[in-house]
Amino acid sequence: MSPVELRAGASLAGVFGLRMLGLFIILPVFAVHAATIRGGDDLLLVGLALGAYGLTQGFLQIPFGMASDRWGRKPVLYVGLLIYAAGSFVGVLADDIWTAIAARALQGAGAVTAVSMALAADLTREEHRTKVMAMIGAMIGLMFALSLVGAPPLYRWIGMEGLFALNGLLCLGAIVLVRTYVPDPAPAARAPVEARAPLRASVLHPELLRLNAGIFILHIVLYAMFVVLPVMLVQGGLALAEHWKLYLPVVLASFALMAPAVIYADRRNQPKPVLIGAVALLLAAEALLGAAPASLLALGALLLAFFAAFNVLEALLPALVSRIAPAQGRGLAIGVYNTTQTLGVFCGGLLGGWVARHHGATGVFVGCAALVALWLGLAMGMRPPPRPGQPGLRSDVVS
């Protein structure tokens, strides 16, 4: 990788990290906190609050991606980060469940994930794109780990209002990072309107549809789990402030397991077996979680399997999208990908809350296992992208 590519990867990973830390840090504690505010005793509304940002993200990822194709990545990125910060500061005032839902929805309106990934793709050559996406994916995973470890003690010290305020400040810090350290893409990375790829090449290609379905299911599963997991740990005898004792070793070990798989997929150009293996591991973890682990040690082992698979897929899927999508429609293609991702967040929170209300934690895990089994069937028919330098997808053809 060139110095510019390394700088682009590191700085954009930092941008993702600051934003995702603020986003994730609410996840491990909100289900417990909700019981202390008006309306927070309804698990369906708790799930809606967790997933609300995914609904607005889902509506706005494509417009933001298309806008970045036309007006440039960085200006659109600034606008989205400011909107997200505004939603975070609204959350400071949330003393009832509906205000919390509104704050999360406004956070989601800053739909810049697609723009950030398109910018990363603009700044890197195809043969190094999986590495950059892996850097970003690893940073997202690291921030997730930090949120799992840090959220309980931070919640005890500064409360939910403080966590929302921290969200806003981290997002403002991400703006400074973009302005100061992220390189500007070459003008050639943004083509005029008439040179852009047809809509069907960026949206309807079968392999893109397959990848979009996968990320949708992955985030349904993640957010449905966290409607019930924190409460389950408390009921199992692990106080909220001590959840980090389980999360920290699990997530750190999952990074160690992730790295060889991602390196193998990148260096050997073997994304299909790695993807199928990760989805199969995810299925096994969800099915066994549905069987109600008998101890915290067993639960920790299953969470290790889950997060190892999750981290691999978070790195692999966006890299595959960026390789398959036509260059001049990349912002749109990644926008569609992130729309399905964030709609998965919304559906995961909402469906997880509904299933938990009617069928308990076991129902949530069994439902997640069924969805992952569907994904595994779809993944079996995957056609890997060509090696870098070989002919790829033409912008005027959908096979």
The 3-state secondary structure of the chain, one letter per residue: CCHHHHHHHHHHHHHHHHHHHHHHCCHHHHHHHHHHCECCCCHHHHHHHHHHHHHHHHHHHHHHHHHHHHHCHHHHHHHHHHHHHHHHHHHCCCCEHHHHHHHHHHHHCCCCHHHHHHHHHHCCCHHHHHHHHHHHHHHHHHHHHHHHHHHHHHHHHHHHHHHHHHHHHHHHHHHHHHHHHCCCCCHHHCCCHHHCCCHHHHHCCHHHHHHHHHHHHHHHHHHHHHHHHHHHHHHCCCCHHHCHHHHHHHHHHHHHHHHHHHHHHHHCCCHHHHHHHHHHHHHHHHHHHHCCCCCHHHHHHHHHHHHHHHHHHHHHHHHHHHHHCCHHHHHHHHHHHHHHHHHHHHHHHHHHHHHHHHHHHHHHHHHHHHHHHHHHHHHCCCCCCCCCCCCCCCCCCCC
- pLDDT of amino acid 11: 80
- pLDDT of amino acid 302: 92
- pLDDT of amino acid 276: 94
Domain ranges, residue 228? 3-183+201-379
Among the listed residues 336, 371, 54, the one whose alpha carbon sits nearest the alpha carbon of residue 204: 336
In a domain, 396, yes or no: no
Question: Looking at residue 264, which CATH number applies to its domain?
Answer: 1.20.1250.20
Q: How many domains, the chain?
A: 1
In a domain, 121, yes or no: yes
Below-50 pLDDT ranges, the chain: 188-196, 391-399
Tens of pLDDT, residue by residue over 152-197, are 888 888 988 998 998 889 888 888 888 888 887 766 444 444 444 5
In a domain, 172, yes or no: yes
Tens of pLDDT, residue by residue over 319-368, are 788 777 776 666 677 778 878 887 888 888 888 889 988 888 899 999 99
In a domain, 47, yes or no: yes
In a domain, 188, yes or no: no
- pLDDT of amino acid 304: 93
In a domain, 66, yes or no: yes
- pLDDT of amino acid 99: 93
In a domain, 196, yes or no: no
In a domain, 394, yes or no: no
CA distance 99 to 108: 14
